[in-house]
Amino acid sequence: MNVRLDKLVSERFQLSRRAAREAVERGQVDVAGARRVDPAEEVGPDADVSFHPNRPRLDTTIRRLTVLYEDRDILIVDKPPGLLVQPTPLRERDTLLERAGRYQIHKRGVKKPYVGIVHRIDQLTSGVILLVTNPRALRPFQDLFRTHTIERDYLAVVEGVFITPDGSIDLPLVDDAGDGRRGVSRDPDQGVPATTHFRVLESYGTAASLVAVRLETGRTHQIRIHLAALEHPVVGDPVYGRRGRPAFPVAFRRQALHAASLGFIHPLSGRPIRVEAPVPPDFSGLLDELKHEYGAFKIGEAG
Protein backbone atom coordinates (compact mmCIF):
# COMPACT_ATOMS: atom_id res chain seq x y z
CA MET A 1 0.00 0.00 0.00
CA ASN A 2 1.33 3.44 -0.94
CA VAL A 3 2.05 6.06 1.72
CA ARG A 4 2.40 9.84 1.72
CA LEU A 5 5.89 11.01 0.93
CA ASP A 6 6.20 13.21 4.02
CA LYS A 7 5.14 10.30 6.23
CA LEU A 8 7.75 8.03 4.69
CA VAL A 9 10.45 10.70 5.03
CA SER A 10 9.47 11.20 8.68
CA GLU A 11 9.81 7.48 9.41
CA ARG A 12 12.96 6.88 7.37
CA PHE A 13 14.99 9.83 8.64
CA GLN A 14 13.57 10.25 12.17
CA LEU A 15 12.03 13.64 11.49
CA SER A 16 8.86 15.12 12.87
CA ARG A 17 5.98 15.08 10.41
CA ARG A 18 6.19 18.87 10.11
CA ALA A 19 9.95 18.81 9.47
CA ALA A 20 9.47 16.09 6.86
CA ARG A 21 6.78 18.10 5.07
CA GLU A 22 8.97 21.22 5.05
CA ALA A 23 11.96 19.23 3.77
CA VAL A 24 9.91 18.03 0.81
CA GLU A 25 8.58 21.52 0.08
CA ARG A 26 12.13 22.95 0.23
CA GLY A 27 13.19 20.49 -2.45
CA GLN A 28 15.49 18.47 -0.19
CA VAL A 29 13.93 15.08 -0.90
CA ASP A 30 14.46 12.89 -3.97
CA VAL A 31 12.53 9.83 -5.06
CA ALA A 32 14.47 7.52 -7.38
CA GLY A 33 16.98 10.32 -7.91
CA ALA A 34 14.40 12.97 -8.90
CA ARG A 35 13.44 15.91 -6.69
CA ARG A 36 9.89 15.87 -5.30
CA VAL A 37 8.14 18.91 -3.81
CA ASP A 38 4.66 17.58 -2.99
CA PRO A 39 4.45 16.20 0.57
CA ALA A 40 1.12 14.50 -0.25
CA GLU A 41 2.52 12.54 -3.17
CA GLU A 42 1.95 8.82 -2.64
CA VAL A 43 4.92 6.49 -3.03
CA GLY A 44 5.58 2.84 -2.40
CA PRO A 45 6.74 1.85 1.10
CA ASP A 46 10.03 0.60 -0.35
CA ALA A 47 10.61 3.60 -2.62
CA ASP A 48 14.18 4.82 -3.14
CA VAL A 49 13.98 8.01 -1.09
CA SER A 50 16.97 10.20 -0.21
CA PHE A 51 17.15 13.24 2.06
CA HIS A 52 19.59 16.12 1.39
CA PRO A 53 19.39 18.48 4.40
CA ASN A 54 22.24 20.70 3.15
CA ARG A 55 20.74 21.23 -0.30
CA PRO A 56 19.85 24.92 -0.87
CA ARG A 57 16.17 25.66 -0.58
CA LEU A 58 14.24 26.04 -3.82
CA ASP A 59 13.65 29.67 -4.73
CA THR A 60 9.96 29.93 -3.96
CA THR A 61 9.77 33.46 -5.33
CA ILE A 62 10.83 32.17 -8.74
CA ARG A 63 8.50 29.19 -8.57
CA ARG A 64 5.40 30.99 -7.34
CA LEU A 65 2.19 31.31 -9.32
CA THR A 66 0.66 34.75 -9.83
CA VAL A 67 -3.09 34.18 -10.01
CA LEU A 68 -5.15 36.92 -11.67
CA TYR A 69 -8.55 35.20 -11.49
CA GLU A 70 -9.85 31.85 -10.33
CA ASP A 71 -13.09 29.96 -9.85
CA ARG A 72 -13.98 26.29 -9.47
CA ASP A 73 -13.27 25.64 -13.14
CA ILE A 74 -10.32 27.78 -14.21
CA LEU A 75 -7.16 29.59 -13.19
CA ILE A 76 -6.01 32.66 -15.09
CA VAL A 77 -2.40 33.41 -14.28
CA ASP A 78 0.37 35.84 -15.18
CA LYS A 79 3.16 33.76 -16.74
CA PRO A 80 6.64 35.20 -16.27
CA PRO A 81 8.96 35.30 -19.29
CA GLY A 82 11.20 32.26 -19.57
CA LEU A 83 8.76 29.78 -18.03
CA LEU A 84 7.56 26.89 -20.19
CA VAL A 85 3.83 26.20 -20.20
CA GLN A 86 4.43 22.45 -20.15
CA PRO A 87 7.46 20.16 -20.30
CA THR A 88 9.26 19.39 -23.55
CA PRO A 89 10.73 15.93 -24.25
CA LEU A 90 13.58 17.02 -21.93
CA ARG A 91 11.03 16.71 -19.09
CA GLU A 92 11.68 20.03 -17.35
CA ARG A 93 10.32 20.06 -13.81
CA ASP A 94 9.57 23.75 -13.29
CA THR A 95 6.77 24.57 -15.73
CA LEU A 96 3.50 26.47 -15.52
CA LEU A 97 1.71 23.11 -15.51
CA GLU A 98 3.68 21.98 -12.46
CA ARG A 99 3.20 25.29 -10.62
CA ALA A 100 -0.56 25.18 -11.23
CA GLY A 101 -0.70 21.66 -9.83
CA ARG A 102 1.21 22.67 -6.70
CA TYR A 103 -1.03 25.72 -6.27
CA GLN A 104 -4.11 23.52 -6.19
CA ILE A 105 -2.49 21.17 -3.70
CA HIS A 106 -1.33 23.87 -1.28
CA LYS A 107 -3.94 26.61 -1.75
CA ARG A 108 -7.05 24.62 -2.61
CA GLY A 109 -6.29 21.41 -0.74
CA VAL A 110 -6.73 19.26 -3.87
CA LYS A 111 -5.00 15.90 -3.52
CA LYS A 112 -4.93 15.01 -7.21
CA PRO A 113 -4.99 18.28 -9.15
CA TYR A 114 -6.22 18.49 -12.71
CA VAL A 115 -4.75 21.05 -15.12
CA GLY A 116 -6.01 21.29 -18.69
CA ILE A 117 -4.22 23.45 -21.26
CA VAL A 118 -6.47 25.09 -23.86
CA HIS A 119 -4.01 27.62 -25.32
CA ARG A 120 -0.33 28.47 -25.03
CA ILE A 121 2.02 31.40 -25.12
CA ASP A 122 5.69 31.07 -25.99
CA GLN A 123 8.29 30.44 -23.31
CA LEU A 124 9.82 33.90 -23.82
CA THR A 125 6.44 35.68 -23.89
CA SER A 126 4.99 37.01 -20.64
CA GLY A 127 1.44 37.55 -19.53
CA VAL A 128 -2.08 36.17 -19.27
CA ILE A 129 -2.81 32.49 -19.81
CA LEU A 130 -5.91 30.48 -18.89
CA LEU A 131 -5.75 26.99 -17.39
CA VAL A 132 -8.68 24.64 -16.79
CA THR A 133 -8.80 23.01 -13.35
CA ASN A 134 -12.01 21.01 -13.74
CA PRO A 135 -12.40 18.33 -16.44
CA ARG A 136 -15.98 19.45 -17.12
CA ALA A 137 -14.64 22.83 -18.31
CA LEU A 138 -12.11 21.51 -20.81
CA ARG A 139 -14.39 21.09 -23.83
CA PRO A 140 -16.31 24.38 -23.36
CA PHE A 141 -13.09 26.37 -23.13
CA GLN A 142 -11.54 24.51 -26.05
CA ASP A 143 -14.61 25.52 -28.05
CA LEU A 144 -14.18 29.14 -26.91
CA PHE A 145 -10.67 29.30 -28.31
CA ARG A 146 -11.43 27.22 -31.41
CA THR A 147 -14.28 29.51 -32.45
CA HIS A 148 -12.23 32.61 -31.54
CA THR A 149 -15.01 33.94 -29.30
CA ILE A 150 -12.46 35.32 -26.88
CA GLU A 151 -10.57 38.61 -26.86
CA ARG A 152 -6.80 38.14 -26.70
CA ASP A 153 -4.83 41.38 -26.49
CA TYR A 154 -1.04 41.73 -26.55
CA LEU A 155 1.55 44.46 -26.32
CA ALA A 156 4.63 44.30 -28.53
CA VAL A 157 7.66 46.49 -28.98
CA VAL A 158 8.64 46.25 -32.64
CA GLU A 159 11.44 47.63 -34.75
CA GLY A 160 10.81 50.74 -36.85
CA VAL A 161 7.89 53.14 -37.26
CA PHE A 162 4.58 52.30 -38.92
CA ILE A 163 3.25 54.31 -41.84
CA THR A 164 -0.35 53.84 -40.66
CA PRO A 165 -1.51 54.05 -37.03
CA ASP A 166 -3.62 50.88 -37.21
CA GLY A 167 -4.61 48.07 -39.51
CA SER A 168 -5.08 44.35 -40.00
CA ILE A 169 -2.72 41.67 -41.26
CA ASP A 170 -4.63 38.98 -43.12
CA LEU A 171 -2.01 36.57 -44.41
CA PRO A 172 -2.17 32.74 -44.20
CA LEU A 173 0.58 30.96 -42.31
CA VAL A 174 2.69 28.05 -43.55
CA ASP A 175 4.95 25.70 -41.60
CA ASP A 176 7.90 26.36 -43.92
CA ALA A 177 8.23 29.59 -45.87
CA GLY A 178 11.24 28.22 -47.75
CA ASP A 179 13.89 28.98 -45.14
CA GLY A 180 13.04 26.30 -42.60
CA ARG A 181 10.92 28.68 -40.52
CA ARG A 182 7.20 29.26 -40.24
CA GLY A 183 6.07 32.20 -42.31
CA VAL A 184 3.35 33.81 -44.40
CA SER A 185 2.04 32.78 -47.79
CA ARG A 186 1.13 35.39 -50.39
CA ASP A 187 -1.03 32.73 -52.06
CA PRO A 188 -4.43 32.70 -50.32
CA ASP A 189 -4.89 29.06 -51.32
CA GLN A 190 -1.87 27.97 -49.29
CA GLY A 191 -1.52 27.84 -45.53
CA VAL A 192 -4.00 28.32 -42.71
CA PRO A 193 -6.01 31.57 -42.40
CA ALA A 194 -4.68 34.02 -39.84
CA THR A 195 -5.74 37.57 -38.98
CA THR A 196 -4.00 39.99 -36.63
CA HIS A 197 -5.23 43.50 -35.81
CA PHE A 198 -2.78 46.15 -34.62
CA ARG A 199 -2.84 49.71 -33.27
CA VAL A 200 0.30 51.80 -32.75
CA LEU A 201 0.36 53.39 -29.29
CA GLU A 202 3.71 55.12 -29.19
CA SER A 203 6.85 55.51 -31.28
CA TYR A 204 10.48 56.09 -30.24
CA GLY A 205 12.29 58.12 -32.85
CA THR A 206 12.66 55.89 -35.90
CA ALA A 207 13.95 52.99 -33.80
CA ALA A 208 10.84 51.30 -32.43
CA SER A 209 7.11 51.39 -31.76
CA LEU A 210 4.84 50.11 -29.01
CA VAL A 211 1.92 48.28 -30.60
CA ALA A 212 -1.34 46.90 -29.21
CA VAL A 213 -2.26 43.66 -30.96
CA ARG A 214 -5.53 41.73 -30.97
CA LEU A 215 -5.70 38.19 -32.29
CA GLU A 216 -8.68 37.24 -34.40
CA THR A 217 -7.17 33.78 -34.90
CA GLY A 218 -4.59 32.16 -32.66
CA ARG A 219 -1.97 30.32 -34.71
CA THR A 220 1.50 29.32 -33.52
CA HIS A 221 3.81 32.38 -33.51
CA GLN A 222 1.13 34.32 -35.38
CA ILE A 223 1.92 37.78 -33.98
CA ARG A 224 5.66 37.41 -34.44
CA ILE A 225 5.32 36.11 -38.00
CA HIS A 226 2.77 38.71 -39.08
CA LEU A 227 4.71 41.68 -37.69
CA ALA A 228 7.94 40.41 -39.23
CA ALA A 229 6.10 40.13 -42.58
CA LEU A 230 5.44 43.89 -42.32
CA GLU A 231 9.19 44.45 -41.73
CA HIS A 232 8.47 45.31 -38.11
CA PRO A 233 9.81 42.28 -36.20
CA VAL A 234 9.30 42.08 -32.46
CA VAL A 235 12.36 43.43 -30.67
CA GLY A 236 14.51 40.57 -29.39
CA ASP A 237 12.75 37.89 -31.45
CA PRO A 238 15.38 35.14 -31.82
CA VAL A 239 13.66 33.42 -34.74
CA TYR A 240 11.84 35.88 -36.98
CA GLY A 241 13.65 39.11 -36.21
CA ARG A 242 17.33 38.79 -36.83
CA ARG A 243 18.39 37.23 -40.12
CA GLY A 244 19.98 39.84 -42.35
CA ARG A 245 19.04 42.76 -40.09
CA PRO A 246 21.43 45.02 -38.17
CA ALA A 247 21.50 44.61 -34.41
CA PHE A 248 18.78 46.51 -32.58
CA PRO A 249 20.39 49.46 -30.75
CA VAL A 250 18.89 48.62 -27.34
CA ALA A 251 19.73 45.17 -25.97
CA PHE A 252 16.81 43.02 -24.84
CA ARG A 253 17.22 39.40 -23.79
CA ARG A 254 13.93 38.03 -25.11
CA GLN A 255 11.13 38.84 -27.52
CA ALA A 256 9.32 41.99 -26.36
CA LEU A 257 5.85 40.45 -26.44
CA HIS A 258 3.38 40.49 -23.56
CA ALA A 259 -0.07 38.87 -23.37
CA ALA A 260 -1.86 41.82 -21.80
CA SER A 261 -5.46 40.62 -21.36
CA LEU A 262 -8.16 38.02 -21.94
CA GLY A 263 -11.86 38.79 -22.25
CA PHE A 264 -14.73 36.32 -22.68
CA ILE A 265 -18.11 35.15 -21.55
CA HIS A 266 -17.60 32.25 -19.13
CA PRO A 267 -19.13 29.27 -20.96
CA LEU A 268 -20.30 27.63 -17.72
CA SER A 269 -21.34 30.54 -15.51
CA GLY A 270 -22.34 32.99 -18.24
CA ARG A 271 -20.41 35.77 -16.49
CA PRO A 272 -18.37 38.28 -18.50
CA ILE A 273 -14.71 37.98 -17.52
CA ARG A 274 -11.85 40.30 -18.38
CA VAL A 275 -8.42 39.89 -16.85
CA GLU A 276 -5.33 42.04 -17.37
CA ALA A 277 -1.66 41.42 -16.56
CA PRO A 278 0.75 44.32 -15.92
CA VAL A 279 3.86 44.43 -18.07
CA PRO A 280 6.84 42.81 -16.31
CA PRO A 281 9.86 44.86 -15.16
CA ASP A 282 12.07 43.95 -18.12
CA PHE A 283 9.40 45.10 -20.60
CA SER A 284 8.79 48.40 -18.81
CA GLY A 285 12.57 48.84 -18.52
CA LEU A 286 12.89 48.50 -22.30
CA LEU A 287 10.22 51.18 -22.79
CA ASP A 288 11.98 53.50 -20.33
CA GLU A 289 15.30 53.07 -22.12
CA LEU A 290 13.73 53.73 -25.53
CA LYS A 291 12.05 56.88 -24.19
CA HIS A 292 15.32 58.06 -22.68
CA GLU A 293 17.31 57.44 -25.87
CA TYR A 294 14.81 58.54 -28.52
CA GLY A 295 11.94 60.33 -26.83
CA ALA A 296 8.34 59.15 -27.09
CA PHE A 297 5.63 60.23 -29.47
CA LYS A 298 2.12 59.12 -28.60
CA ILE A 299 0.04 58.42 -31.69
CA GLY A 300 -2.66 61.05 -32.01
CA GLU A 301 -0.53 63.84 -30.60
CA ALA A 302 -0.22 66.98 -32.67
CA GLY A 303 3.02 67.29 -34.63
| CA atoms of 113 and 78, how far apart (whole Å) | 19
| CA atoms of 214 and 152, how far apart (whole Å) | 6
155 near 286, Cβ under 8 Å? no
Q: Which residues, other chains included, contact 197 with Cβ-Cβ below 8 Å and sequence gap of 6+?
A: 166, 167, 168, 169, 213, 214, 215, 216
| CA atoms of 10 and 18, how far apart (whole Å) | 8
Is 237 catalytic? The answer is: no
What is the DSSP code (8-state) at residue 247?
P
171 near 177, Cβ under 8 Å? no
Catalytic residue among 122, 166, 170, 175: 122
Q: How far, CA to CA in Å, does 90 sit from each of 87, 95, 98, 163, 303?
A: 7, 12, 15, 44, 53
Would you please indicate which residues are annotated as catalytic (active-site) residues? 122
